[in-house]
Amino acid sequence: MRYETAEISLVGHREQNQDRVAVVRNESTAFLIVVDGMGGHAQGERAAVVARESFIRSFDEASGDVADPQLFISEAISRAHDAVSAIGEGRSVEHKPRATCAICLVIGSDAWWGHVGDSRVYVLRDGMVLNRTRDHSHVELLLREGLISEDEIPGHPMRHYVECCLGGESALPRADSDATAKNFRAGDTLLVCSDGLWSGVSDDVIG
């Protein structure tokens, strides 16, 4: 299956752009990477750079032959977490570099993905969101427990609090066996993004 890829990263209204993106590919596979350095923590930009490099290295070392895509995603995230944690060794918790991420591996007409924090993967078709990742965030937990509604999330005071991240103290989320899409059609879109894109718009607008 033929597909086109594009990447964009803008500073917007912030003083510093801590997003890092990459698309690496070979004849049969594309690997989409988004890492968002956490601006509330020291050296968020460095965390994003280190994580991005780690993801690219994982893909390069696979030599284009990914026999188990879900295992590859899980191990790539674990390696990136270790790499970001390593540059924070010896620092107090509040000064450790941290980042969120979303990655997606496309092989033929199938895709597999993983994420940590509130960076997302969307599957779009015919102007609709077919699927998207659920954030590892405080408001997502409140939503899951029925304590708030989707409509309350944009204005919630803790909407930017993530429950886990690369380089953080919390355990990484377990791999999601449902984080895959098969048999893409012509015109389908995979969107991998940070909260800088989705936080200001609804899923309906993104679709």
Q: Domain 19-194 is in which class?
A: alpha beta
Determine the Cα–Cα distance for residues 111 and 183; give it in Å rounded to an integer.
9
- What is the pairing mode between strands 110-116 and 99-107? antiparallel
18: three-class secondary structure by DSSP: coil
Burial class (CB in 10 A: 0-12, 13-18, 19+), 55: buried
Determine the Cα–Cα distance for residues 16 and 75; give it in Å rounded to an integer.
30
Residue 161 pLDDT > 80, yes or no? yes
Which amino acid makes up residue 9?
S
Q: pLDDT tens, 138-150?
A: 888 888 888 888 8
Ramachandran region, residue 86 (left: φ > 0; alpha: ψ -120 to 50; beta: rest): alpha
Determine contact, residues 181/131, Cβ cutoff 8 Å: yes
- Give the per-residue pLDDT at 73: 96
Report the candidate in 97, 62, 77 with the shortest Cα–Cα distance to residue 175. Answer: 77
Determine the Cα–Cα distance for residues 125 and 47; give it in Å rounded to an integer.
33
Q: pLDDT tens, 44-103?
A: 889 999 999 999 999 999 876 788 999 999 999 999 999 999 998 878 777 889 999 999
Q: How confident is the model at residue 23 (pLDDT cuts 50, 70, 90)?
A: very high
Which residues are CB-contacts of 48 (< 8 A; sequence separation ≥ 6)? 18, 19, 20, 35, 36, 37, 99
Please tell me the chain's helix, strand, coil percentages from 3-state DSSP, rounded to the nearest 5: 30, 25, 45
Name the token pair of 50: 């280190």
E-only strand ranges, the chain: 19-25, 29-37, 99-107, 110-116, 120-125, 128-132, 180-181, 189-193
Phi, psi torsion values for 21, nearest 5 degrees: -130, 160
**Residue ranges per domain, the chain?**
19-194
Q: How confident is the model at residue 204 (pLDDT cuts 50, 70, 90)?
A: confident
121: three-class secondary structure by DSSP: strand
